[in-house]
Chain A
Amino acid sequence: MNDSPLQTVNLSRAFGIVEVLRGIDLQVARGEFVAVVGPSGCGKTTLLSLFSGYEQPTSGTVVRNGRVRTVFQRDGLFPWLTCADNIALGLRELSDAGERREHMRRLLGLINLNGFADRFPHQLSGGMRQLVELARALAGDTDILLMDEPFSALDYLLRLRMRGELVRLLHECPRTVVFVTHDIEEAAQLADRIIVLTERPGRIRTEVRLSAPRPRNPTDPAVVKAVHRILTEMGLESDPSGPDFAL
């Protein structure tokens, strides 16, 4: 139980008089993929800042076991550094230059951007930038990957492709993941467990577990069923019988 890489107890955060998160109890298992969904402004991003240690809770505790890296929605790469130099930031703790080079080559190969090492982020497409950021977050011996709506700035078709890429990369480099998104389909396609937050102040409304193996299609019955459950839970879908899986 204490092996949990990320654990919170009664975690709350307020900014002045605005209470953003209230009493979050969460335990993430090693290697688990947890998605956090909820209406905008419910404190999803704040939750990630608390996980990463960038912000401190107003009350409650966060316990981290391992190194944390975040992938941001946009602009997470330093625009004044080339792709290779950005990824190299993630390899800072490796003291051996040869080893760093080797890792770099492997990471660039993993995201299929070998030819783009010396390009600057603004010379890449939005999807490529997110891949480079993902490579930086996976670089080095990180344990916990936090993702803050990493694909929400991309168009729908590209988003579908990027989900596939993420599943593939995590297969190669397994990590414990907390993935924040407002896209419920995305959460259902990727996660082992979906945490649904309430409106502000965000509390855990419900939890949905999925055991279907990845990669999952967006129209996989397990995905559709989870989406239906969450939407119903949030009061956005009214049909109580649910979609007809028999067809």
Chain B
Amino acid sequence: MSGQGSCFGVWRLPLVVVVTALLLWYALSATGIFLPSVFPPPARVATGFGEELRTGRLPHDIVVSLFRVGAGFGAAVVLGVPVGLLLAHRPRWRVAFSPAINFFRSLSPLAWIPFAILWFGIGDLPAIFLIFLSSIFPLILATMVAVDEIPSVYFRVAHEHGIGGWELARRVTFPAILPQLITALRVTAGVAWLVVVAAEMVAGRDGLGFAIMDARNGLRIDLVVVGMIVIGVIGVVIDRLITNLTRMPNVRWGYER
């Protein structure tokens, strides 16, 4: 019904909400009910934002956080998807490993923080390690489930056309799970972006999570808000980018049926 409508209509309504929220924020701080040190006014946050940009700290923190997510999440995809495919095709291995994978998936990655610091110290590595752990188990499971749901008729067709072995994985199994895989990537990338903030808060000397902790310790509550806004916006952008993958012509079928 909607969706198709006018192109800018898609943007107009969310924009109205955002602008209203900003106005509300401005009005609330203008009343003076709250102390600026507890409830920073928009102007102060905007100044803080400019300051952070000028000193180059904010761009640096963004790059560092994105790098950690990219490394941890990338490693989880490169390892998790093939492992999921392998387990889906090896029933005995699957029986053997499924409980363990479920166990680790149910274990919050934040529970690993003590070990992350113990083993990797402070910096990039503990964050990458935690992001990797948060992503790989859901990805393995999602891949396995997606393979289960492939209609058997595809394998019959492949059999009749002499497609087998590695070619079967590349030309049938992988494209058949791709739409579901993209959905799984979207969810796990979202989680990875949540985890990097927590990881940097406790095991970082830079990054957006550390920036928030550091601002709080310096009683710069306006910079806390700057960090929050940047984290939220980047999270939305990551989600949009992955959602764009669903526009590829060879995966559209998975979303239109």
Partner of B156 from the list A54, A81, A122 (CB cut-off 8 Å) is A54
Is B257 a contact partner of A80 (Cβ separation < 8 A)?
A: no
CA distance A135 to B254 in the complex (A): 24
Contact of A70 among B154, B156, B175 (CB under 8 A): B156
CB of B249 within 8 A of CB of A120, answer: yes
Residues in A neighbouring B254, C-beta threshold 8 A: 79
Please judge, given known A-B contacts A72-B153, A75-B151, A122-B257, whether A80 and B250 are in contact too, CB under 8 Å: yes
Contact at A69–B160, with CB atoms within 8 Å? yes
Specify which chain B residues have a CB less than 8 angstroms from the CB of A89 in the assembled complex.
157, 161, 163
**Chain A residues, Cβ within 8 Å of B161:** 89-90, 92
Given A52-B160, A89-B161, A122-B256, A80:B153 Cβ within 8 A: no
Residue on B nearest A74 in the bound complex, by CB? B153
Interface size class of B (residues with CB under 8 A): 20 to 34
- Chain B residues near A92 (CB-CB < 8 A): 161-162
- Asked whether A57 is an interface residue with its Cβ less than 8 Å from the other chain, the reply is no
Which listed residue, B159, B160, B163, B253, touches A79 by the CB 8 Å rule?
A: B253
Residues B5-45 near A (CB distance < 8 A): none
In the complex, chain B residues whose CB is within 8 Å of the CB of A75: 151, 153-154
**A76 within 8 A of partner (CB):** yes
Q: Which of A93-140 contact B (CB under 8 A)?
A: 93, 120-122
B144 within 8 A of A: no
Residues of A within 8 A of B163 (CB): 89
B251 at interface by CB-CB < 8 Å: yes
Complex: A121 Cα to B253 Cα, angstroms? 8
Known: A72-B153, A75-B151, A75-B153. A80 touches B253 (CB 8 A): yes
Across the two chains, which residue of chain B brings its CB closest to A121? B253
Number of interface residues of A (CB under 8 A): 21
Q: By DSSP majority rule, is chain A's interface helix, strand, loop, or mixed?
A: loop
Considering only residues 139-162 of chain B, those with a C-beta below 8 Å from chain A are 151, 153-154, 156-157, 159-162
Given contacts A52-B160, A92-B161, A121-B253, contact A76 B153 (CB under 8 A): yes
The yes or no answer to B238 lying at the interface (CB within 8 A) is no
Q: How far is the CB of B233 from chain A (nearest CB, A)?
A: 33
B159 touches A122 (CB 8 A): no
Mask for A66-84, Cβ within 8 A of B = 1, else 0?
Answer: 0011101001101111000
What residues on A are CB-neighbors of B250 within 8 Å?
A: 80-81, 120
Chain B's closest residue to A49 (CB) is: B156
With the chains together, A121 CA to B154 CA distance in Å? 14
Contacts of B257 in A (CB 8 A): 122
Docked pose: A53 CA to B162 CA in angstroms:
12
Specify which chain B residues have a CB less than 8 angstroms from the CB of A52 in the assembled complex. 156, 159-160
Among residues of B, the one whose C-beta sits closest to the C-beta of A69 is B160
Q: A37-75 vs B: 1/0 string, CB under 8 Å?
A: 000000000000100111000000000000011101001
Assess A122 versus B252: contact at CB under 8 Å? Given A80-B178, A90-B161: yes
Q: Which residues of B contact A93 (CB under 8 A)?
A: 162
Q: In the bound complex, what is the Cα–Cα distance between A17 and B163 (angstroms)?
A: 32
Contact B175–A78 (Cβ < 8 Å): yes
- State whether the Cβ of B86 lies closer than 8 Å to any Cβ in chain A: no
A202-231 interface with B by 8 A CB criterion: none
A120, B251: Cα distance in complex, Å: 10
- Find out whether the CB atom of A120 lies under 8 angstroms from the CB atom of B252: yes
Chain A residue numbers with a CB within 8 Å of B253 are: 79-80, 120-122
Bound: A158/B163 CA distance, A: 32
CB-defined contacts of A79 to chain B, threshold 8 Å: 253-254
Contact with A along B240-257 (1 / 0, CB 8 A): 000000000111111011
Closest 10 CB pairs of A and B: A79-B253, A80-B175, A80-B250, A122-B253, A89-B161, A72-B153, A54-B156, A75-B153, A75-B151, A54-B159
- Listed by A's residue number, 9 A-B pairs whose Cβ atoms lie within 8 Å are A49-B156, A52-B156, A69-B160, A72-B156, A72-B157, A78-B154, A80-B175, A89-B163, A122-B253
